[in-house]
Amino acid sequence: MHDCERPLVVRLASLRAAQTTMQKPTVKVFSTLEELSWAAAARFEEFARIHTVKKKGFSVALSGGLTPKLLYQILASQTFAGRIRGERVHLFQVDERCVPPDHPQSNYGMIRETLLSRVPIPHANVHRMAAEQEDREEACRQYAAELARVLKPEEGELPRLNMVLLGMGPDGHTASLFPGSEALDEQVLWVRPNYLEKLKMHRLTLTLPVLNAAAEVAFLIAGADKAQTLRQVLEGAPGQLPAQKVQPVKGNVTWFVDEAAARLLRPETRG
């Protein structure tokens, strides 16, 4: 039976059960982006080690933007060389701008330059969002099929990534889920296109159901321009901004934050 056909009372009961298992996010503050990136790399390695010995390997979805660049460079550095079994890693994308992969704005292009070109991950394990395709819906269907093929969720279940790396914009967007955008309400599709009026740009993005099915979510937040929004996300009324809607049902969220972004947080929020 599809979930939407289950009696309302059963659905509400399972929703309540899910809500009670949601964990409070952990907030870790670091003096600089560099320290933050090394800590996130250590966390990445920890999860990679746990999962690469398992049958399905380690599945992780990477974000674009500027903040994670240093993390990707660190993961590709000599320090981490040989410490992660690349052939057991499956790299997905959180979101992609609708441009060709060699375009300066391509998230894949950035990830290729900082990480993929320097580490031995087989091409078949890199799952690129082909967002340059004219038929964006079709590109999303293909990506959802790829998630299903690799992660093999049970019939009617969501794909469960071992880890998702997210960023956040000063407006509270995360992935390509911007405030007020329709994609935020998506309950069925795993991947969907989203047109951003503000940027006059089409993007493809994983949806909240997929982000919230992940086992581990790490937000990487740096810079003073995010301080106000970060306070709102972590201390303000819940459910207002896209980043607040990332609440894995059976998973953890850790915020890796630099001092500049954390400067308005209450001491008790800083953990």
Q: Does 242 bind ligand 6PG (CB under 6 A)?
A: no
Single out the residue of 106, 107, 181, 244 in contact with ligand 6PG (rule: CB under 6 A).
107
For residue 181, state whether it binds ligand 6PG (rule: CB under 6 A): no
List the one residue from 174, 194, 207, 244 that touches ligand 6PG (CB under 6 A): 174
In the bound complex, which residue of the shown chain has the CB atom lying closest to ligand 6PG?
167
Question: Considering the complex, what minimum distance in angstroms separates the CB of residue 70 from ligand 6PG?
Answer: 10
Write the CA distances from 196 to 77, 173, 242, 262, integer angstroms: 35, 11, 14, 28
Nearer to ligand 6PG, 65 or 236 (CB): 65
Alpha carbon distance, N-terminus to C-terminus of the chain: 42
Report the alpha-carbon distance of residue 146 to residue 78 in Å, rounded: 31
Is 218 a binding residue for ligand 6PG by CB under 6 A? The answer is: no
Residue 213 DSSP SS3: coil
Minimum separation from the CB atom of position 105 to ligand 6PG (A): 8
* Contact of 168 with 219, CB cutoff 8 Å: yes
Cα 80 to Cα 74: distance, rounded to the nearest angstrom: 7
Q: Which is nearer to ligand 6PG, 33 or 76 (CB)?
A: 33
CA distances from 28 to 44, 144, 213 (A): 15, 32, 22
Beta bridge partners of 218: 165, 254
Nearer to ligand 6PG, 66 or 188 (CB): 66
Site for ligand 6PG in 12-71 (CB under 6 A): 63-67
Smallest gap from residue 116 Cβ to ligand 6PG (A): 16
**Cα Rg of the chain, angstroms:** 18
Question: Residue 216, interface with ligand 6PG (CB under 6 A)?
Answer: no
Q: Which helix (H) or strand (E) holds 231?
A: helix 227-235
Residue 84 near ligand 6PG by CB under 6 A: no
Question: Which member of 109, 167, 193, 251 binds ligand 6PG (CB under 6 A)?
Answer: 167
Interface residue with ligand 6PG, options 95, 186, 216, 258 (CB under 6 A): 95
- Sequence-ordered list of residues with C-beta below 8 angstroms from that of 101, at least 6 positions apart, any chain: 108, 109, 112, 128, 132
What is the closest distance, in whole angstroms, from the C-beta atom of residue 149 to ligand 6PG in the complex? 23
CB of 233 to ligand 6PG, least distance (A): 13
Q: Which has the closest alpha carbon to 52: 28, 6, 80, 85?
A: 85
User: How is 172-208 classified by DSSP, letter by letter?
Assistant: S-BTTB-TT-GGGG-SS-SEEEEEETTTTEEEEEE-H
**Per the structure block, which two tokens stand in for 141?**
């269907």
Q: Decide if residue 109 touches ligand 6PG (CB under 6 A).
A: no
> Pick from 41, 48, 89, 94: which binds ligand 6PG (CB under 6 A)?
94
Interface contacts to ligand 6PG, rule CB under 6 A = 63-67, 94-95, 97, 107, 167-169, 174-175
